[in-house]
Each structure stands twice: as C-alpha cells, then as structure tokens.
Structure 1
Amino acid sequence: MLSVILVPLYTDVLKSASFGDYAIIFTYFVIFNVILAYGMETAFFRFYNKETDKSKVTQTANWSIITTTFLFVILGFSFFDAVQSFTRIEPEILKLIIWILAFDALAIIPFAWLRANSKPLQFAVIKIINVGINLGLNVFLLIYLPKLAKHFPFFESIYFPEYEVHYIFWSNFIASGFTLLLLSGFFQKMKLSFNWQLWKAMMKYALPVLVAGVAFSINEVIDRLFLERLLPADIAKEQIGIYSACYKLGMFMTLFATAFRLGIEPFFFSHATSRNPKKAYALITKYFVIVGSAILLVVLVFIDPLKELFIRNESYWEAMKIVPIILLANLFLGIYHNLSVWYKITDKTRFGAYISSFGAVSTIVLNLWLIPIIGYVGSAAATLFAYSSMAILSYFIGKKHYAVPYAMSKIIAYLGVSILFSVLSFYVFRENYFIGIGFILAFVSLIYVFEKQELFALINKDKNEN
C-alpha cells in the first residue's frame, strides 16, 4: 500500500530520471529480500502446522534467519566496492540498503509467528506503524524540509539539494529499524535452541521456494534492469521512471492479491488435513477470480480519475497504455498463488521452482527480444505472458498431483467477460462513464445470477454455525 500512497509524492517531487534511479535500486531490493528469506517463511508455516513442538520450529527458523542475515551484512560490507561497481548504486544509498535488507529479514519469522498464531491486530498495528513512519518521513524530507531550510539554520544544515532519492531510503531505514524494535519482545523470548534435523527438513522444503521466489522477483522487477541496459543511455532512466510510475497503478490488483494471500496461506496449511479441503480451495479460488475480475474492470473504467489522483505529473502519463496489461498480469499472478496450494501442502515445492523458473526464463527472453522493438511495452507484455503461463501450468500439473475441483468453466467465463468489458472501457469507451458503469453493473448482475444460490447458502451456513 505504501508504494501506491507514495506515487503521487514521488512523481510530484522527482524528475522521471530520478524516479528511474529509485526504480532500479528497488529492483535489487526486491531480489535480495527474497534471497534473504530463502523460503523459510513458507517452511515455517508448513512445519508449524505439522510439528507438535511448535516452539522448536519457531526457534530453529528464527536462528537460521539470524545467522544468514549476520553473514549477509558481513559479506555485503566486505565486498562493498565490488557490489557497488556492479549495481552502480551510490555508496551511501547502498549502505542503507544493506541495513534495511537486514532489518527486514530479521522481522520475517516474528511476523510469520504472529500470522500463524492468529494475532492480526498486533501484526496490523506494527505494519501500520512502519507505514506511518515511512510515509511521514518521506513527506517531511521531500516536501517540508526544503521549505524549512530556507528559514531555519538547523534545517538548512540537514538539507541537501538533489538528495531526494537518498531521503527515500533514509525514511525506509528508520521505519525498518523501528519496526524491528517493536518486535524486540519476540527476540527476548528466544532460547539458544536449534534442531539440526528439523532445519535440514525445513531447508529441503524451503530451497525450491527460494528458487521460485527469485524467479518471481525476476518476473516482477528485472525488466527495469533490462530497460537500463538495452535502451539508449540518454533516455533509459527517464523511460524507466515513466514505466515504473504507471506500473504502480497495477498495484490495485497487487494490494488485493497480497492481502488475500497473507490471510489465506495459513488457512491452506491448517485445513490441509480437514475433511474436505479441496472443496474449500476450489471455492476460495473461484471467489478470488470473481473479486479480482471486478477490480480489473472497475479500475480500468475509472483509470483516468485514478491517474490524475496518483500521478499528477502529466509527463508520466505517456506509459498509461501498459496499465491494463499490468493489472491483468497481476490478476493472473494472484490466481497462480491460489492454484499453487497443491505443491505446498503435498511438500512438492520443487514444482513451484520449475513453474516459476519457466516464467523467469520467459521474462528474460521476451525482454531481450521485445525491448529493442517496442520498449517498455515489451516488458509489460513479458510480465503478462509469464504470469498467465505460470497459472496455466500450475493448474494442469496440479491436476495430476492434487486434483482440486475448480469451477473452471465459471472462472474462465468471469475472467473472459471482465477482460472484454475492460478492453472496451479502456480502448473504445475511455472516459465514457455511462457505458463504463453499465459494464460494471452488467458484470455484477452476471455474478449475482450464477452465484446467488451458493452465496445465500454460505451466508445461512455461517449464521447457523454462529
């Protein structure tokens, strides 16, 4: 959510080339966040629900993350010059990134423990505090500090012109550090307890998840690095900035999919041994597609007001043509996460690595092929192909290993109608809200006609259980 909230601020304050710098740095951020987690969060959920001694799982997972994070910091600063030369990131920002990555990695298991123990209030409060600090510092440093520096000597001493990207990562550094401080109670309860046999089993489960995670990060952000290297140097960062700003409008779908995944992933594991888990998985996936398809349509009907709200600088609007592609790509990614339950609960995580690696290879090949021809539109198309192909592969491979009775005819129909209406709204009836709202009402009516009996049955069942 923070990345969406900050888009208006960044596009107002930063030139497109500076926003491109930020996007390139953030690419490394995403990749190393996944590497430092190395699938241990997913392994924690799996073994926490499977093992009787839950404390043993928590201690082993947390000490594993602490050890690898400590090694990462040592290696990062030991080979600092080589890393800086390869990434081309300014030394001061690179130092901040190393510490931010370390802080975020150390918070992985504490946050996973809160989710596994159904403590959403504590989880949400800490996350919101993190967002509040980060957002508040961004607003202060980018908007108010330059104004205060003109009138007060103290603020003048801490203000540096053309330092905006640095301020962004200073804000992140302080927010991540404070978040870790709020989680200190978890670490105070830690014991010097580590089970090697359990750790080996967890790593066997986690490493394919790591491969899948790295592949996901490649699918999500590697296009910025390709754009940096394949576009002419004089326009590369400006094009990356324009592309990345409009890409953020696809985050409406990502927000929904991420929030859904945070809540549903523990459910998948905890209900794996229930009486009829497959029926529940099928139902959840169908309603995910329904809500996601509705979001796709609503966002594209109202994309121009949203554009003016989140990206007020018109110089960024050139890349608006990628927004439908990215929204649909993120919807397919969410569908993939739902379909991927089969390899997680059957401990066949290697298939997740295979599927996401296929997506990553597709992303790389298509970026290399399409960027020189159609620029950042090629990157968006590569993302859509990668995520849609991963969802399709997961469905067909999953049928052989853990067949879930998905209502595929309805899923395809809802998805197809939403895409049709979205394309017409964006490319044919742009800013014609009478027709656009008509499409939304028609889609909602379609859902009501075909799902009302099941929805009423679910509501009545819930009332009876309560």
Structure 2
Amino acid sequence: MAKDIKRLGKETLVYGTSTVLARLLNFCLVPFYTYYLLPQQYGAIATVFAAIALLSVVFLFGLDQSYLRFASDAEDKHKVFRQCFYGVLANALVLGGLLYVLAPQAARAWGLGEDFGLFQLAAAILFLDVLNMIAFTKLRLERRAWYFAGVRAFAIVVNVALNVLFLAVLHHGPKSILWANIGASLASLALLIPVWVPELKSHNPFCFDWKLQKEMWHFAWPFVPAGVASLLVSVIDKPILVHLVGVEQVGVYQANFKIGVFMMLLVSMFDQAWRPFFLAHAKDSDAKDTFAKVLSFFFALGSWFLLGISFLMPDIIQSNLFGNFHLISPNYWGGLKIIPLIVTGYFFYGLYINFMVGPVLTKKTRVLMWITLLGAAVSITTNLCLVPRLGITGAGWAVALSYAAMASALFAFTQKVYPIGYEYKKLILMSAVCVATVLAACYWHQAVWAEVVLLTLYPAWMGLILKKA
C-alpha cells in the first residue's frame, strides 16, 4: 500500500511539473492583462473563455474518459484510440462549424453584443484543443508523465510568448489572447504527432467495431451533461455577472478569481494521477484502505493550501514588494474579498475528485450528471440571489457552496455503492484545527506575522494527526 501511494505521489509530482508551470505562467499573464487591458476588455475575454470551457465538454463528448476505461483492459488498444480520435474529430468539425456560423448569436447570448469575432476564434481553439486531449489521455493511461509534462510546458511557454508579442509589442488588442491560444494549441498538436499519427496508421485504421463504439458512447455520454453542469459551477457566474453588474465587474472578478490558481494547481496535479491510479489498483485486496488514506493526505495538504492562499495573497497583492508595480493593478483590487471563497470552492472540488472512485469503478457514471446538475442549480440560484445584493462577492459564495454541495452528494453516493471506511476521526480533528487556525487569525485581526506563524505550525499539527490519530 505504501509503495502504491508513493508512486501516486511521484506521478502527481511529475504531472504537476507541467501543471504548475502552465498555471504559473498563465497566472503571470494576469498582472500583464490587468496593466494592458481595461476591466471591460478583460471581462469580455473572461466571458468568452467561460464559453470555451463549457463547450469543450460537448466537443470532447466524454470520449477521453471512455478511452481511459476501455483501453485500460482492451486487447487492441489501437482500435480504441482510433475510434475515440475519429469520433472527436467528427464532433469537433460539426460543432466548430456551427459555432463559427452562429458566432453573432452566441455573442449576444453571452452579453457581448455584436463582438462576435471573439467567438469565431473560440471555434478554432475548441477544435484544436479536443484533438490534443485524446493524445494527452493516451499518455496518461500509459503513464508517460514526462512526455505529458514536456508538451504541456512547451505549449504554455508558446502561449505566454505570443501573448506578449501580440498584446504588448504589436498592440493587437484583446483578440491577441485568443490568437495566442490558437498558436499554443497548434504547437502542442505538432509535438503530439508521435503519439497520435502511429495509432492512425496502424493495421486497418478505418475498421470500426460498432459494438465497441456503441458501448464507448454509452459510457461516455453521461460525462457530457455532468461535465457541462460541473463547468456551469465555475463559468455560469460570468454571463450572470455580465447581465447583472456589467462586463467591467466581470473583469475585476476574473482577475481575483485567477488567484485561486494556486489551489487549483494542487487539485489538478492530484486529479491527473488519481484516476489512472485508482483504476489500476481497484482490484487490490487493500484498495479501500489505500483510498481512505489518500483522502486524509489530500485533506491535510489541501487545507494548508487553502489557508495559505486566503491569508497571504491579499496582502501580497497590495504590497509594494515589486516597487511601483503590483501583482494586480489597483483597478482590480475591489475583488480581493472573493479570494478565500474561490479557494474554498476548489478545496471542495478536490474532495469531489477523491469521491469519484465510487461511480467510476461501479460504472454508475450517470449519477455524475445529477450530482453536477445539483451543483449547477446551487450555483445559478446563489448567483441570482446574492449577486444583486453583494455584487461579485455573491458570485464567490456561489462557487464555494456549489462545490460543497457536489462533494457532499458524491460522498453519499460513493458510500452507498462502494463503501470506503474513511479515517473520520482524523478528518474531524483536521477540520477542527483548520477552523481554529482561521479563528486565531481573526482574533489577531489577520496580522501578517500571526498568519505566518499559524501557517508554519499548521503542517506540524496535520502531521501529528495523520501519525497518531
């Protein structure tokens, strides 16, 4: 068990190398954007990328998950890959064409008026990204983590370089961000040629197993409404904010929302390694004990990240550590109060990822649709109720509450279909220490010195609980 958990940690670290670099380089673009774009311009771009995130689920149609599930024990893995690739290609061609033609209607629906050129560029981004995704999924299944990390890292470097070139040097305006993404996706697709081209050139490349195809699509389709509903939790706030408080406030909200990248780093790193890990070890005699310990370790590390970001990032943003240059332009400081809410939401999403083991191993993935629809309903309801009263802070609360609802519902379902004896005593003690740390920080009026001391002591408390409790 210890060896397996150690390997999961190693793979998480390797995947995290690319993920950390990618997210950090993207995060470096946030202050860049806040100094080169007005909040209204940044708000428009954020709204388009919210649409891209949502539509990517429909373009991919859950076939990446189908590939993971069916290729893991298939005799002819080449055939599984081909069917997934051609399915995604056909889907992307049809949907990409429709989005390009209907870009004016899409722009108006998302509150951007007649600025439909952004959505035409979004169609190209979506087409390229979903083709990349199947090749990346193959690398994950084969545990070729370093190849995965290298391609991701290179693509992000290209993205950052093109952003600087188009926006700061050539002054092409907000559309530069979308063009940079297209360039990065093309670079990634080129580097993945050794992954996907040999698969398509293998024996009988156009021979389809229609029975397998039907089984794969049947397995995959619940991930579409589930994925859409899940993304609604994190993206539906953008169009709602556009209509209720204006595009400018969306820009302020998005700049601070991006601070949550540091929490999302941890969750993404874990997610990349976790799903192949529990599929590979599901038949082990001590599988459930292993999964229980993984949750405890994630809770300890995740809660530390949550507190660290919530305590320190607002102070760092407003500090003069960079001279006259701030991490985020002062024009965007009105959204600092949402940072703790966003990272709390991401922490709950990490718990949700832990509980994914139940529906996947029992092949009852359809429940994901209902659980994520619950999260979407909580998000929409909270946004509509709180945004008119609290502004962008209401949208922050919507993120935290919706992910909490999803994690709770998936936990209940997993315990019903695949009961796991989680280490509840440890989890309760860690939760108590986390709350006590927050209360102590508030008692000292969130003084920086007190926050640093509390965060320094926190890992020791978590380690003691994990070892003794």
Same fold (TM over 0.5): yes
Q: 1:437 to 1:198 in 2, by over 3 A?
A: same
1:38-437 matches, within 5 Å, as 38-87=61-110, 88=112, 90-143=115-168, 145=169, 159=170, 163-189=172-198, 190=200, 191-231=205-245, 236-308=246-318, 311-422=327-438, 424-425=440-441, 427-429=442-444, 432-437=447-452
Determine helix, strand or coil for the equivalent of 1:164.
coil
Separation of aligned partners in 2, 1:66 and 1:42? 16
The C-alpha deviation readout for 1:95-140, integer Å capped at 9, x for no partner, is 2111111000111111000111111111111111100000111122
In structure 2, list runs of 5 or more residues that go unmatched: 1-22
Q: Which moved more, 1:186-195 or 1:275-284?
A: 186-195
Distance in 2 separating the partners of 1:17 and 1:416: 42
Residue 85 of structure 1: how far off its partner (Å): 4.0
**What is the identity, as a one-letter code, of the residue corresponding to 1:102?**
F
Provide the aligned length of Structure 1 versus Structure 2. Answer: 433
Question: Counterpart of 1:107 in 2: which secondary structure?
Answer: helix
Q: Does 1:33 align with 2:56?
A: yes
Query: Given that residues 11 and 311 in structure 1 are in contact (C-alpha distance below 8 angstroms), is that contact kept between their aligned partners in structure 2?
Result: no
User: 1:263 and 1:343, CA in 2 relative to 1: closer, same or farther beyond 3 A?
Assistant: same
Percent of aligned pairs with the same amino acid: 27
What TM-score does the superposition give when structure 1 sets the normalisation length?
0.88
Decide whether aligned partners of structure 1 residues 257 and 359 sit closer, same or farther in structure 2, where only a CA change above 3 A counts: same
Q: Distance in 2 between matches of 1:416 and 1:19?
A: 39
Cα shift at 1:391: 1.0
Report the residue type matching 2:209 in the other structure.
N
1:305 Cα deviation after fit: 4.5
- Rounded to whole Å, the distance in 2 between the matches of 1:94 and 1:329 is 28
From the superposition, tell whether residues 94 and 403 of structure 1 become closer, same or farther in structure 2 (CA, over 3 Å). Answer: same
* Cα RMSD for the two superposed structures: 1.9
Q: Which digits, 9 at most, give the CA deviation of each residue in 1:332-382, with x for residues without a partner?
A: 011111112110111000111111110101111111111111111111111
| 8 Å CA contact retained: 2:167, 2:174 | no
In 1: Cα distance, 2:431 partner to 2:260 partner:
17
Amino acid across the alignment from 2:230: F
Q: Output the TM-score relative to the length of structure 2.
A: 0.88
Structure 2 distance, partners of 1:245, 1:204, is 39
Please, which moves more after superposition, 398-407 or 429-438?
A: 429-438
* Equivalent residue number for residue 20 of structure 1: 43
Matched residue, 2:466 = 451
Contact 1:11–1:19 at 8 Å: present in 2 too?
yes
User: Gaps (5+ residues) in structure 1?
Assistant: 146-158, 455-466
- Deviation for aligned residue 1:81: 4.0
Q: Distance in 1 between matches of 2:293 and 2:40?
A: 45
1:461: which partner in 2? none
8 A Cα contact 2:338 2:396, kept in partner = yes
Q: Which residue of structure 1 lines up, in the alignment, with residue 8 of structure 2?
A: none
Whole-Å Cα distance in 1 between the matches of residues 296 and 350 of structure 2? 12
Work out the CA distance in 1 between the residues paired with 2:443 and 2:313.
13
